[in-house]
Amino acid sequence: MPVPAKVEAGTGQWVVQQGLTISVSGPDDPRVRSAAQRFVDHLSLQTGIPLRYLTAQPDKATIAISCDRPGEKVQKLGEDESYKLDVTATGAKLSAPTALGVIHGLQTLLQLVAPSSQGFAAPAVHIEDTPRFPWRGLLLDSCRHWMPIEVVKRTLDGMEAVKMNVLHFHLSENQGFRVESKKFPKLQEMGSGGHYYTQDQIKELIAYARDRGIRVIPEFDMPGHTTAWFVGYPELASAPGPYEIETKWGVFDPAMDPTKESTYKFLDKFIKEMTGLFPDEFFHLGGDEVNGKQWDANSEIQSFMKSHNMKTNEELQTYFTQRVVKIILKYKKTPVGWDEVLTPDVPKEVVVHSWRGPESEAKAVQQGNRALLSNGYYLDLAESAEEHYLNDPLGGDAAKLSPEQQKMILGGEACMWSEMVSAENVDSRIWPRAAAIAERLWSPAEVRDVDSMYARMEVESQRLETLGLTHHSALHAMKERLAPNHFEALRTFGSTVEPVKKYSRSGTHKYTTDAPLNRLPDAVPPESIEARKFSRLVDRIVAGNTSDDDIALARDTMIDWKLNHDRLSPAFQSSLLAEDAAVSQNLSTAATIGLQALDMLGSHASVPTGWANQQTAQLELMKKGQSELLLMVVAPIQKLVQAVGK
């Protein structure tokens, strides 16, 4: 995962054995050797076989790696990432134009290894692979919740595993300014609460990412989302200070003053410093969600607008954007901005990053700008992998573009906004769902089988945990913390629920930057794989396309749920879980109804009049979000009940 562009199955398999050797031929690109070393370490983790990095001549090596030419000094958009991989009974040959293909091909080889009748083995296969889109990104928001450097590193490990190649690092926000500036040290000193990356750490992360075939682009969101800048530098704002670091969530009034030359002088120096720190060609200027209230209230800004014949705040923002774009271009970088920057006269160099809807993508291209899709890839909204997976950068309006225009759509980015995640559970919000997005952006467009994706995603999810991601283990520990003496029952209950979707959590408890994220909605994955499997099972039963095993499994599962509330009830004495008791009770009730339905379906006995409608109505109430949880197994139980009614 992602599925390669071309796969031909061979016969036989290569069995992983101690003493395996590796050859590396081609130009001296340290990333190749480093990837090979990592391959050995990961293979050891994936098999439990102690392996060392042993070299051999290409004709004798178990894994023969060759690479044609050195890569670009700074990894470039569109740089060749292709590779060819041949697995035979004796080992594997991997060839690629650059180190990037080697990095990707080794991950493919690792994914092929599985337990077999001869030990851990990879099936014989011939693969020719290359990505569909050159920009396959993940946005990490280290501002709203601080993400320590270890979190960023393991996120990069996960990205490498699924062939993502851009870390979009969201580094400034109302709630925090997260990178050291030597020119303007009050940015981090007063705007970060002590949580920021030093320039040395940024360099370390960039090197770490480069080693894994990943570009790092910084985002400094402006002119809005800038409260944390103003704590140290209130003179940048459109209203007098003093300012404090924002602790709440939402869209706020503070915005830079686009009318003062001093703003651009500051930004020129700042962008000069940051374009020096971040070597990537692209530089993200943000540009989203300016509510304009500070501008409306500032008489000097109002007279500036009049004198410049600007009628709307959008025009004022366009003026600001054009000034900032010029600065970015002056420092030889290509600007990227959220889709608010897409106005008729936005410079053609700007890459438009679509977050509000897919339309702006096509519109940008038609205007001559390149574009990126993030709408539909927001990991923070707790939506299903399926929804993300079927969301295509060349779908919607973009499908109607000419092939030449479609090439201007560079790809997309999964977004991990961090209002409702902490460093503790962020892995569980990114993984494994980001792998589905990675496949959408890498694999051919026609790879769209959802069941196949889920089956492969489950295996990849385990592999990611083996490589050091904590999406499973952290949630396990969080549930143990909630119910030290009733963990198994909480696990059962937790497997049937999901957190409420989109932005609906923020309306319930009072969430701020400092609020604990330690309750059940934080400790369950955004998507319940168990509920999905149960739903599939019910689909088969209802369709009559079923077996005795299916029926037995459905029955056992629902018996377990029915009994679970009594098992779990002592844990609801804890104030952290108390609010979830009603949902747990609903699970038992729903399971009881489901068991009745299953019995009726099996016995073909007469069903009391109105029974199905009555139960359906009762179940309908249980589908509503409650205590920030959705009980995901109600809908399939409703299907069982409705099948009885037919």
Question: Which of 116, 198, 262, 613 is close enough to bind a copy of itself by CB under 8 A?
Answer: 116
CA geometry: angle 312, 313, 318, nearest 5 deg: 100
Q: CB of 585 within 8 A of CB of 618?
A: no
Question: Is there binding between residue 606 and a copy of itself (CB under 8 A)?
Answer: no
Stretch that binds a copy of itself, among 63-71, 72-80, 443-451, 574-582 (CB under 8 A): 574-582
Q: Which of 119, 148, 368, 602: binder of a copy of itself (CB under 8 A)?
A: 119
Nearer to a copy of itself, 307 or 573 (CB): 573
Burial label for 451, CB within 10 Å (0-12, 13-18, 19+), is: exposed
* CB of residue 113 to a copy of itself, shortest distance in Å: 10
CA distance 287 to 284: 9
Hunting for tokens 């497997």 — which residue is that? 495
Amino acid identity for residue 271 in this structure: I
Per-residue binder mask for a copy of itself (CB under 8 A), 394-433, x = binder:
----------------------------x-x---------
Amino acid identity at 423: A
Pairing of strands 282-284, 135-141: unpaired
What Å distances lie between residue 454 and 350, 384, 437, 461, 491, CA to CA? 36, 11, 12, 10, 21
- Smaller CB separation from a copy of itself, 359 or 480: 480
Q: How far is the CB of 45 from a copy of itself (least distance, A)?
A: 8
Minimum gap (Å) between residue 419 Cβ and a copy of itself? 14
Which amino acids are annotated catalytic?
A: 289
Query: Is 464 a binder of a copy of itself (CB under 8 A)?
Result: no
Among 312, 547, 574, 613, binds a copy of itself (CB under 8 A): 574
- Say if CB 255 and CB 225 are below 8 A apart: no
- Of the pair 84, 479, the CB lying nearest a copy of itself is at 479
Asked whether the beta carbons of 397 and 362 are under 8 A apart, the reply is yes
- Positions 325 through 344 that interact with a copy of itself (CB under 8 A): none
CA angle 175, 178, 180 (to 5 degrees): 140
Q: Which of 212, 216, 205, 214 is nearest to 35 (CA)?
A: 212
With CB under 8 A as the contact rule, the residue among 103, 147, 305, 478 that binds a copy of itself is 478
Neighbours of 491 (CB within 10 A): 17
Using the minimum distance from each CB to a copy of itself, give the nearer residue, 120 or 197: 120
DSSP state of 626: B
Q: How far is the CB of 486 from a copy of itself (least distance, A)?
A: 10
- Which residues inside 36-65 make contact with a copy of itself, applying CB under 8 A? 46-50
| Cβ within 8 Å of residue 599, ≥6 positions away | none
Q: Which is closer to a copy of itself, CB of 517 or CB of 593?
A: 517
Give the contacts of 516 (CB within 8 A, at least 6 positions apart): none
The verdict on 472 binding a copy of itself (CB under 8 A) reads yes
Measured CA distances, 121 to 116, 118, 247, 380 (Å): 6, 7, 51, 37
x/- letters, 10..29, toward a copy of itself (CB under 8 A) = --------x-----------
Q: Which is nearer to a copy of itself, 205 or 571 (CB)?
A: 571
Q: Taking the mean position of all CA atoms in its chain, how far away is CA 530? A: 21
Which stretches of 331-394 are DSSP H helices?
359-367, 385-389
Report the nearest approach of a copy of itself to the CB of residue 578 (Å). 8
Q: Does 576 help bind a copy of itself (rule: CB under 8 A)? A: yes
**510 is a site residue for a copy of itself (CB under 8 A):** no
Nearer Cβ to a copy of itself (387/530): 530
Task: Please report which residue ranges of 212-298 form alpha helices under DSSP H.
Answer: 227-232, 261-277, 293-297
Which residues are at the interface with a copy of itself (CB under 8 A)? 18, 46-50, 114-120, 422, 424, 459, 462, 465-466, 472-473, 476-478, 480-485, 487, 514-518, 522, 571, 573-578
